[in-house]
Structure 1
């Protein structure tokens, strides 16, 4: 069997897809999972941007908790504030009390992976199924770190595409 064509992709959509798979394994419906996943990936990206010195500290406000109690969901070590859309679907809070819709997240992932989305998602679902849901949520980010695409360190790697290897997803261990 010939080797599959490498998947050249930025880390952000890989983390987004993985977080959605983990959220679904935790029992969240698909739209909620996509919304939560986008929030987790956004938080990770803002943290990295601050660490690299390419984002202002004023952007930290998006990652700080609200002054009044809100419902949250914990996903891959991140607390995500929740809200509801007009139909009552639970979604991540976009940061201003409005819901973060799932459809743009689904489109983003589809663009990033193209024809390889189903294959990639299938490998991630199989990896997630090897762990009890709460254990997966606890170790999930470490699993991601084991299969994410390699990119150059520092600012050179910001937004860079790397090669995602399906076999690394299949073989991932925490």
Structure 2
């Protein structure tokens, strides 16, 4: 029986060394297992007809065989860069990692208990992307209640990135096919956030309340109940068209990562889930949190300012503290908005309405390329005004 380590190595070989698209590589694992061709060394010695029978196209078969011979020759020569996955993992993730509970605590966002009067009087100065992020993070508390904060930040950042890329392409700032169009998302489940379909990766075994054992990603321990072989079978099923509909991600799903398909394409795969999240093509919660914390300044005051006091610039610490407070006020206002509608709307309907909520209050910027990244005012009073009446 093929071990988990061997399957990981085989996927890595097919997608990185043989340069096959990840979906194709994953779909061939079972056939290669049945033919007992589960390593580059075995493939290098295989009959071309057998390999062609698995990959169907002659060019793909030759591509795999040539890569297998090249890799085998390097390994025989003692190439240290081609150490087994087990040896490499020992050097990379051998140290003790932080517990999930500690990770979640470190990602905590600022909160507020301000009176509604203070919220109504608050006007923020920001650009559109971080506002989308804030809307999505709070929305997920109501539409995907089982997701920990780390997942909500990752999924929300996925929405922001996809939205920004779509806008950039519509403006002509970016051109060419994106990774999704090229098929890099095939085989991965989807979720819908603010009406946008995003590719996700399941974080099997991750318990955000666990304090003694870290599982920052899909666990691959010997005692894990979910085996990598099962993951491959699931992926093959979705590649064949049985993909989970975007609006039907069940509540009991494990924690999720927002999958960064552009990063996956740049790395040329493979998608090997593991504990070392720095190696995964995901939207990291740490970067999303850092981004949102620094994005909400107070709107410039129109009141007359004392010339003497205006010469005194606030310190970096004071600016950071002000932005953190503003974020807390914004999140409080958004929570009040969503909670008022969550009582009467299904999670799907709330998700559908979230984008229109955002559009109603997003900063006004110039049209076209001139407005790319532009900043404007966001009035919390307008967010509160969209609450359900009665």
> Could you state the TM-score of these two structures normalised by the residue count of structure 1?
0.88
Q: Is the 8 A contact 1:146 1:173 kept in 2?
A: no
Pair 1:23-2:140 in alignment: yes
Q: Which runs of 5+ in 2 are unaligned?
A: 1-116, 204-214, 218-254, 265-270, 272-280, 297-322
Aligned residue in 2 for 1:144: 358
SS of corresponding position for 1:24: helix
How much does 1:155 deviate? 1.1
Structure 1 pair 57–163 and aligned structure 2 pair: CA distance change class (3 A): same
Structure 1 residues 29-73: Cα deviation after superposition (integer angstroms, max 9, x where no partner): 211111111011111111111111111123x22566646321221
**Alpha-carbon distance in 2 for matches of 1:48, 1:67:** 20
> Could you state the TM-score of these two structures normalised by the residue count of structure 2?
0.41
Q: Is the 8 A contact 1:143 1:173 kept in 2?
A: no
**Greater RCO, CA 8 A, separation 6+:** 1
Q: Which of the two has higher C-alpha Rg?
A: 2
Structure 1 pair 63–130 and aligned structure 2 pair: CA distance change class (3 A): farther
Pair 1:11-2:140 in alignment: no
Which of these residues, 122, 129, 132, is aligned with residue 339 of structure 2?
129
Structure 1, 30-39 or 88-97: larger mean CA deviation: 88-97
Which of these residues, 190, 193, 207, is aligned with residue 72 of structure 1?
190
Q: Is the 8 A contact 2:185 2:199 kept in 1?
A: no
**Alpha-carbon distance in 2 for matches of 1:140, 1:54:** 27
**Alpha-carbon distance in 1 for matches of 2:182, 2:157:** 16
Aligned residue in 1 for 2:282: 99
Q: Is the 8 A contact 2:132 2:358 kept in 1?
A: yes
Which of these residues, 165, 175, 181, is aligned with residue 46 of structure 1?
165
Pair 1:82-2:292 in alignment: no
How much does 1:153 deviate? 1.2
Q: Which runs of 5+ in 1 are unaligned?
A: none
SS of corresponding position for 1:53: coil
Aligned residue in 2 for 1:33: 152
Q: Is the 8 A contact 2:121 2:381 kept in 1?
A: no
